A and B are shown apart, each in its own frame.
Chain A
Amino acid sequence: MPTTKQISWIKGAVFVAALIPLARMAYLTLTGQLVDPLEFITRGTGDWTLYFLTITLAVTPLRKLSGWNWLIKLRRMVGLYTFFYGFLHFMTFLWFDHFFDLAEMWKDVLKRPFITVGLIAFVLLIPLALTSTNGMIKRLGGKRWQWLHRLIYVIAPLALLHFWWMKAGKHNFNQPILFIVIIGTLLLMRVWWATRKAAQ
């Protein structure tokens, strides 16, 4: 187990590392190296939302398998980065795609299930981000807080469905399948542990 000081170093490193994708997107855009920066940013922010969601869901299984209980101290930050990149992804849609034309955006959301599902997943992330502070955990009480945060088990399949439909047009299912397998495994491990616990 790392010392408290080491953990704050690790946290700092993760915090900075998690900003690298954003810095890279900003750098490539500002230096004019992208033919279609808007598409690149839309894809990039979406991809990183999914990556952080996957990492967030991996913390508990990894902790249980390795016995590194200190990993839990990183989970809040990774979870908040999921929200952060999801927020950037949503803003890209609202700004670049619709130029803040809310009526147009709403039409798109209602008409296209692929967008509807993505938006629901993002909206469900908001309460999780808002209740991520120690103060909110105390106010809600651990049990209720935990129940609320199980929303992630709804969010993850919605995010995967959004990703699947996005790739469906080009029959490019390799990546969606990969993430379904990874996230599916992470969720099934929880089911397995829960049933074992119930049996005891």
Chain B
Amino acid sequence: AKLAAKLNPAYSVLDKQTPYKDATTYNNFYEFGTDKSEPAMYAGTLKTRPWTIAIEGEVRKPMTLDIDALLKLAPMEERVYRLRCVEGWSMVIPWIGYSLSELIKKVEPTGNAKYVEFVSLADKKQMPGVGSRVLQWPYTEGLRIDEANHPLALLAFGMYGEVLPNQNGAPVRMVLPWKYGFKSAKSIVKIRFVKDQPRTSWNLSAANEYGFYSNVNPDVDHPRWSQASERRIGEDGFLSRKRKTLMFNGYNDVAPLYAGMDLKKFY
């Protein structure tokens, strides 16, 4: 189904967009299987309506919002973001949504809200991959509150002019273009504001490989491969070198969030 939105050029890159087919058939969404072709094959069973997000924890106005209320919460923007996967490939995707900060304003976090935790749906009946021992379920991700409030942090409902396909995290997900893709939780059912840094699924699974911050950083290697370069899906083929990965995936606006931090230590 179509999802109307106005392009926000300030938050859009001019890179060539990844073909829709590639962006919707090559996915990491382990709730539907670990193979990148599996989400497109098995995500049909996901029921995206009715859908609610429970917002709780250190907020003055905890609330449960259903998907229709969320869709109307703020004006929809289209933003063309680069997406860099921790595995060394990248895409360019036109997302539709609004800054998470719009939602945060509504619930009025207290002074104790230092972090935000995102919890994805984990329903074995709809998601055949839940129950595999690859990760702890439900899939959990987190941000520091200032990261969550950064205007680039997008609460997304659509892509390529349409509502999100199930395999891309329908009906609502995060998109954090300066972090590796796995930081952007899909099919979110709960957002919690908390005092302490939340444990995240990939960090629990392999702490030395996946840090809490996981900012795109060409100078900090993954233990098993270099992060200095990447393959742009659909573009970088056999006859070209891989392209250089940019610090914060090219989103230098976020640099002040990490001023004074040793990013090798806080990877």
Mostly, the B contact residues are loop
Contacts A35-B25, A35-B233, A99-B241 given; indicate if A169 touches B89 (C-beta within 8 A): no
Q: Give the total of A residues in contact with B, Cβ under 8 Å.
A: 21
Closest Cβ of chain B to A53, distance in Å, is 22
Closest Cβ of chain A to B23, distance in Å, is 9
Contact segment of B52-60, B163-171, B223-231, B250-258: B223-231
Closest Cβ of chain B to A108, distance in Å, is 6
B26 cross-chain contacts in A, Cβ below 8 A = 35-36
Closest Cβ of chain A to B141, distance in Å, is 17
* A171 contact from B89, B133, B233, Cβ within 8 A: B133
B22 cross-chain contacts in A, Cβ below 8 A = 35
Closest Cβ of chain A to B101, distance in Å, is 33
* A96 contact from B224, B233, B238, Cβ within 8 A: B238
Q: Which of A114, A115, A168, A170 has the most CB of B within 10 A?
A: A170
Contacts A171-B133, A171-B134 given; indicate if A35 touches B234 (C-beta within 8 A): yes
| A72 at the B interface (CB under 8 A) | no
Q: How many A-B residue pairs have CB under 8 A?
A: 47
B241 cross-chain contacts in A, Cβ below 8 A = 99
Let me know if B224 and A36 touch, CB within 8 A.
Answer: no
| A197 at the B interface (CB under 8 A) | no
A28–B225 Cα gap in the complex (Å)?
26
B36 cross-chain contacts in A, Cβ below 8 A = 35-36
| A185 at the B interface (CB under 8 A) | no
Let me know if B224 and A114 touch, CB within 8 A.
Answer: yes
Let me know if B205 and A38 touch, CB within 8 A.
Answer: no
A35 cross-chain contacts in B, Cβ below 8 A = 21-22, 25-26, 36, 233-234
A172 cross-chain contacts in B, Cβ below 8 A = 34, 134
Contacts A169-B206, A170-B34, A170-B134 given; indicate if A38 touches B238 (C-beta within 8 A): yes
24 residue pairs of the A-B complex, CB under 8 angstroms, read: A35-B21, A35-B26, A35-B36, A35-B233, A35-B234, A37-B237, A37-B238, A38-B231, A39-B89, A95-B238, A99-B240, A99-B241, A99-B242, A108-B226, A111-B221, A112-B223, A115-B224, A166-B224, A170-B34, A170-B134, A171-B133, A171-B205, A171-B206, A172-B34
B residues neighboring A (CB under 8 Å)? 21-22, 25-26, 34, 36, 89, 133-135, 205-206, 209, 221, 223-226, 231, 233-234, 237-238, 240-242
